Amino acid sequence: MLTRLSIPSHEEVYRVEDAGAGLRGFIALHSTRRGPAAGGLRMRAYRSDEAALEDVLNLSRGMSYKNAAAGLPLGGGKAVIIGDPARDKTPDLLRAMGCAIDALEGRYWTAEDMGMSPADMAEIARATRYVAGRDQGAHASGDPSPVTAQGVFAAMRAGAARISGSDDLRGRHVAVQGLGHVGWHLARLLHEAGARLSVADMDGARAKVTAAEFGAEVVAPEAIHAVAADILAPCAIGGVLNAQTIPEIRAAMICGAANNQLAAPGDAEALHARGILYLPDYVANGGGIINVSAEILEIADRAAWVDARLDAIGATMARILERAAGEDASPAVIADRMVEAALVDKAG
């Protein structure tokens, strides 16, 4: 059922198959150097096995970077199931994936990702204990979104301090793209801090309600990136910083929760060349994995432990920005370099 593949960039990669349960997928452990590989389980109608394998390899590598940037004693891993979550998902299939995860004996911990629900994760947890992000149980961590928003807020304050010498966001104008689980909480924190808000969501009603709650201006989704704000906060989807949007951005700084905000690696340089301070997404949005890791690591005093690590996001971001300014480089490049050093030196 688990077939090991030899992929030099990753410590362990498996093809997962269970014909009886209709399961096809992959599990990738990029690195366990800092601790067990942790990262979510995604179910998607991939166009081919190769596409699924490419996704799991990229995502697991990304988790190594995110976990190391958050200073967590965790490595990076990810799992994918090939199939349409609306049509192909069955309890049998989920339990079969749970058995595959269990066979790795804790070297990989899974959690919810695209195409999975809390109920699905509960089904998987019947077959393995290596499931985090549960909403029940002694160390259950529940919805990570408010914690993710707090981490983005801490990073944003570090960015504001670098630009203006003060981390006070009062009176700053922030354009929030996407008002879902994280974006709404971020808008709330910013409103409470006295920031002025422009907001957008594909769901117009959602944008209107949030705007009324926080005294914000509603902007069309296709125009939010170009608002003349101090800060742009992408909290919707990936790839929003690209060749088309970058020339139109008027904010001095970008800091948000969305994963993979840069469409291509060269986009970090393009932002730097325009003098726009881009705060690396995987550092800013580490609150989610911090929240989940308290469950994996069975931390007793969760609240204090999580708070300390959220503060550390701000401190790490400040260090990245300082170094980037010193070297006249994009913070994205500096963050990658710092994390790569930490991945080699476990204590880093």
- Residues in contact with ligand NAI by the rule CB under 6 A: 144-145, 148, 177-183, 200-203, 206, 221, 235-238, 257-259, 285, 288
78 is catalytic: yes
Q: Nearer Cβ to ligand NAI, position 37 or 235?
A: 235
Q: Mention every residue, 6+ apart, whose C-beta is less than 8 A from residue 190.
A: 153, 169, 174, 176, 197, 214
**CA 61 – CA 196 distance, rounded (Å):** 36
**CA 229 – CA 308 distance, rounded (Å):** 30
| Shortest reach from residue 178's CB to ligand NAI, in Å | 3
Phi-psi region of 105 (alpha: psi -120 to 50; beta: other; left: phi over 0): left
Q: Which of 78, 89, 208, 346 is catalytic?
A: 78
Residue 29, SS3 per DSSP:
strand
Tokens encoding 110: 């899974």
Which residue has the CB atom at the shortest distance from ligand NAI? Answer: 180
Q: Nearer Cβ to ligand NAI, position 40 or 98?
A: 40
Q: Nearer Cβ to ligand NAI, position 226 or 237?
A: 237
CB 182 within 8 A of CB 317: no
| Shortest reach from residue 183's CB to ligand NAI, in Å | 5
Residue whose token pair is 């192909």: 88
Q: Nearer Cβ to ligand NAI, position 63 or 125?
A: 63
CB 270 within 8 A of CB 332: no
| Shortest reach from residue 122's CB to ligand NAI, in Å | 18
| Shortest reach from residue 7's CB to ligand NAI, in Å | 25
> How does 96-110 read in b/e, with b if 16+ C-beta sit within 10 Å?
bbbbbbbebeebbbb
Q: Nearer Cβ to ligand NAI, position 31 or 141?
A: 141
| Shortest reach from residue 280's CB to ligand NAI, in Å | 13
Residue ranges of alpha helices (H) inside the chain are: 49-69, 85-88, 91-103, 118-124, 145-164, 181-192, 204-214, 266-273, 281-284, 287-296, 302-327, 331-344
- Known catalytic residues? 78
